[in-house]
Every structure is written in structure tokens, then in C-alpha cells.
Chains A and B, each alone.
Chain A
Amino acid sequence: MEPHLNLLLVDDQRENLVALESLLAFPDYKLTSVTSAREAMIALLKTEFALIVLDVEMPEMNGIELARAIKERQKTRDVPIIFLSAHHDAEGDILSGYGAGAVDYVTKPLNAAILRSKVAVFAELYRKNRELKVANSALQSEIAERKLVEAALQEANQLKSERTAELNEMVQELEAFSYSIAHDMRAPLRAMQGFSHILREEHASQLDAEGSEYLRRIDSAATRLDRLIQDVLSYTKILRAPAPMQPLDLDHLARDIIATYPDWQPPRADVFIEGTLPVVIGNEAFLTQCLSNLVGNAVKFQPKGNHPRVRIWAEPRDTEVRVWVEDNGIGIHSKNHGRIFGLFEQVNAPSEYDGTGVGLTIVRKAVERMSGQYGFESNLGEGSRFWLQLKRAAS
């Protein structure tokens, strides 16, 4: 419910006040009646009034003087006044000095209907003003809130652009780093490999068996370092290369990859695809890298003398497909399950199984960048089943 409107009635005659009170006895008006200018000023200090009904003719300070005092005070300046005047013509000029709207008058003897309607006009004006004030303050706080949000947003944007600049710098450094690895670090390696080759080819007669063995070790260490460098380069490429996604015929892709590796063909190994693999959404370069790394591992990590058998198949899962690569290899001890996708992690000694510890990291990163999932099931001595899961293309 709306709050009351405070009306101040000022008249030195008690009976006039009683008459006014009965005229304006409406539930939404709260009337305060005083009999002197002094009391009126006190009332105005205590309460905010919507309207003052003021008798002009009073002893001590008359209505006109009181009105002047009211209008001089900042707090009460805008409170409208209805004068009750006996002499219509005489007061007209004085009243006009207050400006339109703020002041009105009603002549005595009072006409009830006129007084009520004039009071009602001012009351309505006050109500509207009050609503406007509420709306205005709501608007103000909304503006303040928006300004806060805007400032926060600006700060976030600032932070974002700083972060982006930082990231760009990092990417550029990574780029420069891998470029330098490719160029500068491989040059001494070429020399090591080249000169050890020439030494072996042309100076073999001057070397005994031990010397030849040392030479072989230099050569194999250099080869290994070169593999490591190449794998790290492949990894950084996976990290930063753009990866446009498109529908890929997995069956076609997998069979092509398998056909490229002589080590994966009978009689050295059996790599076979069960059924037809579906069309998936992926990046061709990334998926090629994943599949060749997984099948490569499956063929490589075998007990001595074991014939590698690798089975590849697809398992539909809602809108996705899980591609399995299963081998009959050495398997992975459960204590090592948490390590195998980490960079440079090698469960087996490199002397036992040639590797760099980068292959599965590349698989992980590539699958992540294709918004897919990956995983495996394995036990020591029981072979391994690796999988990766991607979106199927709409058929």
C-alpha cells in the first residue's frame, strides 16, 4: 500500500481547523493541524509535507510572511501551498510572485469541492514526484551497477589481452626454440653420424674389435638423439599446429598407414582391422600420428621372439566411436599406468625397447586437440588394449 501523504493545515482559528479536517478527512491524507506560524515551522522541521494549507490572516506572523519563510528554506522550498484568503483581489499579485504550480489559493468562505479538488491536484503531483524519485534512484543504482560491471569487464579484457600477448610470446618462443633445435642442434649430430660412418668405412682396419664397438655406440647414441629431437619436434608441432577438423574415413586411413610400414607386414607381424572402421570427425595429420604411434607401440613392445599380433576395431558409443588397438605384447604393470602418457616417460629401458618416451604424449595431445578421449587397459604379461574416442561423422 502507498504511504500516507502528510498535509499541514495552518489556521489560528481552532474551529476553522476542525472544518478543514473534516473536509479533507480521507484515508490517504495524514493531517497535521497547527494554530500559529511558529508551530507550523516546527512541524515542517519534523516532517516532510506534501502540501500546506495556510490561512493568510493570522496574528504575529501572517500567512504571507510564513510562506516567504518556508520558500526561503532549502528543505521546504518546493512544498506547495494553498492559501485560504478572504480578499481575493488583494492577494492575487503577491501570490503570483511565487511562480506557477507551487502556490494556489482558495477564497473564503470555503467551497468544499474546490478545496478538495485543489488539494487532490497537489497530492497527485506529490505522488508522481515521489514515484519519479523512486524510479530515478533505482535507475541511478542500476547505472552505478552497470558502471561497476563495465569496469570489471574492462579489467577482464585488459587481463585477457595481456594474457594473450603473453601466450603469443610463449608460442613464438616455442617456435624459435623448435626451429633452433631443428637447425642448430641437429648439425653437430649430422657431423657425429657422418664422421663415425667415414671412420668405420675407411679406417676400420686401424681399429680393433673394442674400438669398432665404441664407434658403433657413438653412432647409435647419435641416432638415438636424432630420433629424440625429431620426436620432440613432432610433439611441439602437435602443440601449436592448426588442427582443422573434418570427416575422415578411418578405415581407409588406418589401412593406408598399416601398408606403409614393412615391419607391420607378415611374416614380421600381423596387423589386422576387424570389420570396417567408420567415418570420424578428426584431423588427418593428428589421427595418422596417433594410429601409427599406437600400432607402432603394439608391434614394438613384444616379448623376445614373440610374433606381434595387433587387432584394430571400432566400438560405436552413442554419437562417438571408440577405436581399439589390441596387442599380444608385454603389457603394462598397474604401477606404471599413471605414467605412460607423460612426456619422456619410459617404463622400459631404452636398451631393451628402442623409444623416446614421446609417442604416447603425442597421442594424448593430439586426441585432446581433436576434443576426443583416450585410454587403455593392460596388465603385465597380458598385452595391452589402447583406445581413442572421437565423434562419428553424420552418415
Chain B
Amino acid sequence: MTKLILLVEDDENDVFLLTRALKKAGIENSLQVADDGRQALDYVEGCGRFSNRAEFPLPYLVLLDLKLPQVKGLDVLKRIRELAGRSLIVVVLSASSNETDIAEAYRLGANAYLCKPANFEGLVEMVRAINDFWLKFNLSYGVNNSPAPTADGAL
């Protein structure tokens, strides 16, 4: 089983383009999408329409937009850390390099903070980097820990 990615993003264009970019970069991990902060928390907590863990397993990596309806991205991050501690990798994907956001994200325990690239090539380059670092080389710990990386790329 590949490491599951949970994308928390309300902009359907961004969801579409990121999905495309993952495909283009040859990253075949399964992807779940939560399109607002409430959904994201439901998913992580396994409640509401995400209560079936067989269908919606805990993600290995969360790609988290900050500006979200219902529950704000930073509040999602805070709740995730309360629920799952540091075992879940959370990479913030924001549209801005606003310093207050960056500082707050790291204070709340984000693993990384990335600024959404404006063009598609940049997006492909970025998801490749995410895959290489967080899914391939980086070692996590906790419930979702997986075997050491193999030479053939995406796990």
C-alpha cells in the first residue's frame, strides 16, 4: 500500500492542477481530498462520512492549504497535532509567504511551509520535491511508519 496523501484544499482548480501535477511527476500515491477545514478534521478524526477507516485510512502526509472555509488551515493544523501528535506529516501549501502565517504554522508544528507556485511547471517541480523528501527519504515515526525507502522512487 502506498503512503496516503490527504489534500486539504477548497479551490477546485488547485485540486485539479495538483492532481495533474502529481500524475505528471509520476507520483502514484493514493490521494484523498477534503475541501474545507471541517472535512479535514472529520477525516483525521474518522467521523462523519469518513468514519470507515478501511475506505478512508489515516493519511501519511497532509498537504494543507491555509485559507479554508469552515475551519481555518492553522486551526486544522493545531487540532491535528492535538489528535495525532507529531506522527502525521503536515506540509502547509499556502498562496502567500506572509511572515505571520509562516511563523504561526511552524509554532503549531507544521513540518514544512511551501508557497504555491504560480505556474504549472513550478507545481510539478514542487510535488516532485515533496515526494522525494517527505515520501521517499524522510523517516517518520508512529502508527503509519513504513519500511525503509527502496531505490525505485514513490512508495
Q: Is the CB of B95 within 8 A of A182?
A: yes
The digit string for B78-101, where 1 denotes a CB below 8 A from any CB of A, is: 000000000000000011111000
Nearest opposing residue in chain B for A187, CB measure: B11
In-complex Cβ contact of B96 among A183, A188, A223 (8 A): A183
Q: Which of A39-47, A157-165, A194-202, A364-372 contacts B (4 or more CB under 8 A)?
A: A194-202
A128 within 8 A of B: no
Q: Is the CB of B13 within 8 A of A190?
A: yes
**Contacts A197-B119, A198-B120; A179 near B13 (Cβ below 8 A):** no
Within 37-86 of B, Cβ neighbours of A (below 8 Å) are at: 67
Q: Is the CB of A191 within 8 A of B13?
A: yes
Q: Is the CB of B118 within 8 A of A186?
A: yes
The digit string for B116-141, where 1 denotes a CB below 8 A from any CB of A, is: 11111101000000000000000000
Q: Is the CB of A195 within 8 A of B13?
A: yes
Q: Is the CB of B17 within 8 A of A223?
A: no
Report the interface size for chain B: residues with CB under 8 A from the other chain.
19
Most buried by B among A182, A184, A222, A223: A182
In-complex Cβ contact of B118 among A184, A193, A195, A198 (8 A): A193
Q: Is the CB of B118 within 8 A of A190?
A: yes
Number of A-B contacts (CB under 8 A): 56
Q: Whole-angstrom distance from the CB of A80 to the nearest CB of chain B?
A: 80
CA distance A190 to B97 in the complex (A): 16
Most buried by B among A179, A183, A194, A222: A194
Nearest opposing residue in chain B for A219, CB measure: B119
Q: Is the CB of A197 within 8 A of B120?
A: yes
Q: Is the CB of A179 within 8 A of B118?
A: no
Q: Is the CB of B98 within 8 A of A194?
A: no
The digit string for A173-185, where 1 denotes a CB below 8 A from any CB of B, is: 0000001001110
Q: Is the CB of A186 within 8 A of B17?
A: no
Q: Whole-angstrom distance from the CB of B123 to the nearest CB of chain A?
A: 7
CA distance A190 to B14 in the complex (A): 8
Q: Whole-angstrom distance from the CB of B100 to the nearest CB of chain A?
A: 9
CA distance A187 to B117 in the complex (A): 10
Q: Is the CB of A179 within 8 A of B119?
A: no
Q: Is the CB of A179 within 8 A of B20?
A: no
Q: Whole-angstrom distance from the CB of A234 to the nearest CB of chain B?
A: 10
A226 within 8 A of B: yes
Q: Whole-angstrom distance from the CB of A250 to the nearest CB of chain B?
A: 25
Q: Is the CB of A179 within 8 A of B120?
A: no
* A182 / chain B contacts, CB cutoff of 8 Å: 95-98
A64 within 8 A of B: no
Nearest opposing residue in chain A for B67, CB measure: A183
CA distance A186 to B117 in the complex (A): 10
In-complex Cβ contact of A187 among B13, B16, B20 (8 A): B13
A258 within 8 A of B: no
A189 within 8 A of B: yes
Q: Is the CB of A194 within 8 A of B17?
A: yes
* A191 / chain B contacts, CB cutoff of 8 Å: 11, 13-14, 17
13 A-B pairs in the complex with CB atoms less than 8 angstroms apart: A182-B97, A182-B98, A184-B95, A186-B96, A188-B13, A190-B95, A193-B118, A194-B119, A194-B120, A194-B123, A198-B17, A198-B20, A226-B118
A186-B116, A188-B13, A191-B17 given; 7 more Cβ-contact pairs under 8 Å: A183-B96, A186-B118, A187-B14, A191-B13, A191-B14, A194-B123, A223-B119
Residues of A within 8 A of B (CB): 179, 182-184, 186-191, 193-195, 197-198, 222-223, 226
